[in-house]
C-alpha cells in the first residue's frame, strides 16, 4: 500500500513539473496582435471654428411713456404684430396737486386778464368809431386783446395737460396714449393694468411699457476663442444651427468682430455678430440659442487618412505601411501633412491614394493554456 502511494505521489509531482514547464513555455511566446487596416482615400476637409450664442432681433425698441401715470387699458399683448403709431396702452394721469394748483391759478389769472382786455377793447373800439382816439391807440388795444386770449389758451392747455394729460387742440395725439414707434412684433409687455409708470428723465430711464422688434431682421450674437478670432474677417459665411428647431440650419454672414476680448472661465472670448438669412417659412423667436460654424479653410478631393493612424518621432510624422496582410507586416514611412478637421488629415506626400496603413489595435491574444 505504501508503494502504491509513493508511485501516485511521484506521478503527481512529475505531472506538476511538466505542467509548469508547459505553462512557462506558452507564457514566453509572443502576443498575437491584429491591427486595423486603413486605406488612404480622397476627401473634402474643412477647418471650422464654432461659436456659441443666440439669435436676436437686430433692433429691440423699448416703448416708454412721456408722462407719469397709471396703466388704464392695455390694447395689445406679447406676440401680437403692431404697426407704427398703433396704440398699445392708455394711461390715466394722476396729477401732482402742487402742479395742478399752480396751473389752475395761472388759468384763473389769465381769464381775469382776458376779461379786462375785452372790456378795454370794447371801450377803445367805441371811442375810435367816434374818432375820439387815434388809430394807433385802437391797434394797441387790439394787440393786448389777442395777447390776453393767447395767454388764456396757453394756461388752459397747461391746466388740461396737468389734470388729464390731453388738450382739446391735441385731439388724438395725447400723451396718455402709448403708441408703437416701429412696425414689428411685441416681444414683451412687462406692465399690467393698474401699474404706476414714470416718464424718462435725467434721473432714470423711465418705465418700459413694451418691447418691440422686427423679427424679419435677425442677427446671431456669439463668442469665439482668441485662438481663432485672428482668422476671422467680416463677410465670412456662417452656418447657424438652432437647437429649438431640431438643429435646422440657416446661412448667415459675419458683420462684426469685437476689438476687445472678455475673460470667461480662464479663456479670452471675442463677441461676433452675423446677419442671419431667415426664410419666410421659418419663425425664429428672439433669444433662441444657436451654434455657428465658421469655415476657416478647406480643401477638396485630397488624399487623406484618419488622424489616429499618425505616429510621431521628434519633429517627424510617419505611418506604418502594410507590406503583408497575412501575416500582418508593416514598414515605416515618413509623410507630410496638411489641413486637418480633427478627424481626417490631408496627406501632402509620402502616401498615395489607395495605399494601406496600420491603424488601431483590433485584438491582442495570447495562446490559450489548457
- Number of domains the chain contains: 4
Q: What CATH number has the domain bearing residue 337?
A: 2.40.420.20
The domain in which residue 72 lies consists of: 63-91+184-213
Task: Locate 134 and state its grid cell.
Answer: 387815434
**Nearest alpha carbon to residue 206 among 190, 222, 218, 229:** 190
DSSP string, 101-120: HHHHHHHHHHHHHHHHHHHH
Instruction: Give dist(CA 111, CA 158) in Å, integer.
Output: 13
Going residue by residue through the chain (370 aa), what tens digit of pLDDT does each one get? 666 666 777 767 777 777 776 666 666 656 677 888 889 999 999 888 888 899 999 888 999 988 888 898 999 999 899 999 899 998 887 766 666 677 778 888 888 888 888 888 888 887 778 777 888 887 888 888 888 888 888 888 777 766 665 666 555 446 778 899 999 999 999 999 989 888 877 778 889 999 999 888 899 999 998 888 888 888 888 989 888 887 788 999 999 999 999 998 888 999 999 999 888 888 888 889 999 988 888 888 899 999 988 999 888 899 999 888 888 888 999 999 998 888 899 999 989 898 999 888 876 555 444 4
Residue 123 lies in a domain: yes
**Contact criterion met (CB below 8 Å) for 247 and 241:** yes
**End residue of a domain, out of 281, 296, 311:** 296
- Domain match, 309 and 204 both: no
Residue 370 lies in a domain: no
Total-model pTM: 0.60
- Domain match, 287 and 229 both: yes
Q: Which long-range contacts (CB under 8 A, 24 or more apart) does 105-108 make?
A: 106/155, 106/158, 106/159, 107/152, 107/155, 107/156, 107/158, 107/159
**Contact criterion met (CB below 8 Å) for 252 and 276:** yes
Instruction: Give dist(CA 191, CA 208) in Å, integer.
Output: 8
Q: Within 28-60, where are the H helices? A: none
- Domain match, 128 and 265 both: no
- Domain match, 203 and 314 both: no
Residue 19 lies in a domain: no
- Domain match, 188 and 315 both: no
**Helix, strand or coil, per DSSP, at residue 164:** helix
Count of beta carbons in the 10 Å neighbourhood of residue 117: 21
Residue 175 lies in a domain: no
Instruction: Give dist(CA 179, CA 60) in Å, integer.
Output: 15
Report the Cα–Cα distance between both ends of the chain, in Å, rounded.
33
- Domain match, 200 and 325 both: no
Residue 312 lies in a domain: yes
Q: What CATH number has the domain bearing residue 79?
A: 2.40.50
**Helix, strand or coil, per DSSP, at residue 200:** coil
**End residue of a domain, out of 273, 296, 319:** 296
Amino acid at each position: 500500500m505504501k508503494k502504491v502511494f509513493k508511485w501516485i505521489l511521484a506521478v503527481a509531482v512529475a505531472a506538476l513539473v511538466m505542467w509548469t514547464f508547459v505553462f512557462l513555455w506558452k507564457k514566453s511566446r509572443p502576443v498575437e496582435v491584429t491591427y486595423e487596416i486603413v486605406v488612404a482615400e480622397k476627401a473634402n476637409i474643412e477647418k471650422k471654428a464654432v461659436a456659441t450664442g443666440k439669435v436676436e432681433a437686430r433692433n429691440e425698441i423699448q416703448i416708454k411713456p412721456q408722462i407719469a401715470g397709471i396703466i388704464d387699458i392695455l390694447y395689445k399683448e406679447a406676440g401680437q404684430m403692431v404697426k407704427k403709431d398703433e396704440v398699445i396702452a392708455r394711461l390715466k394721469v394722476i396729477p401732482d396737486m402742487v402742479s395742478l394748483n399752480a396751473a389752475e391759478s395761472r388759468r384763473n389769472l389769465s381769464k381775469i386778464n382776458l376779461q379786462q382786455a375785452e372790456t378795454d377793447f370794447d371801450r377803445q373800439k367805441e371811442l375810435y368809431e367816434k374818432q375820439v382816439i387815434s388809430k394807433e391807440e385802437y391797434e394797441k388795444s387790439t394787440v393786448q386783446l389777442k395777447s390776453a386770449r393767447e395767454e388764456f389758451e396757453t394756461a388752459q392747455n397747461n391746466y388740461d395737460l396737468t389734470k388729464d394729460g390731453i388738450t382739446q387742440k391735441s385731439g388724438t395725439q395725447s400723451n396718455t396714449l402709448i403708441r408703437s414707434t416701429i412696425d414689428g412684433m411685441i416681444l414683451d409687455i412687462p406692465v399690467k393694468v393698474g401699474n404706476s409708470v414714470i416718464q424718462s428723465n435725467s434721473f432714470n430711464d423711465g418705465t418700459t411699457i413694451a418691447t418691440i422688434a422686427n423679427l424679419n431682421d435677425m442677427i446671431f450674437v456669439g463668442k469665439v476663442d482668441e485662438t481663432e478670432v485672428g482668422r476671422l474677417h467680416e463677410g465670412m459665411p456662417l452656418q447657424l444651427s438652432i437647437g429649438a428647431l431640431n438643429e435646422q440650419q440657416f446661412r448667415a454672414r459675419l458683420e462684426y468682430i469685437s476689438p476687445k476680448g472678455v475673460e470667461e472661465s480662464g479663456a479670452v472670448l471675442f463677441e461676433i455678430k452675423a446677419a442671419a438669412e431667415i426664410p419666410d417659412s421659418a419663425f425664429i423667436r428672439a433669444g433662441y440659442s444657436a451654434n455657428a460654424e465658421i469655415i476657416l479653410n478647406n480643401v477638396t478631393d485630397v488624399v487623406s487618412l484618419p488622424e489616429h493612424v499618425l505616429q510621431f518621432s521628434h519633429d517627424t510624422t510617419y505611418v506604418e505601411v502594410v507590406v503583408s496582410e497575412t501575416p500582418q507586416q508593416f514598414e515605416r514611412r515618413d509623410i507630410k501633412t496638411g489641413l486637418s478637421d480633427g478627424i481626417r488629415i490631408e496627406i501632402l506626400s509620402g502616401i498615395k491614394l489607395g495605399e494601406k496603413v496600420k491603424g488601431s489595435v483590433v485584438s491582442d491574444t495570447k495562446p490559450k493554456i489548457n
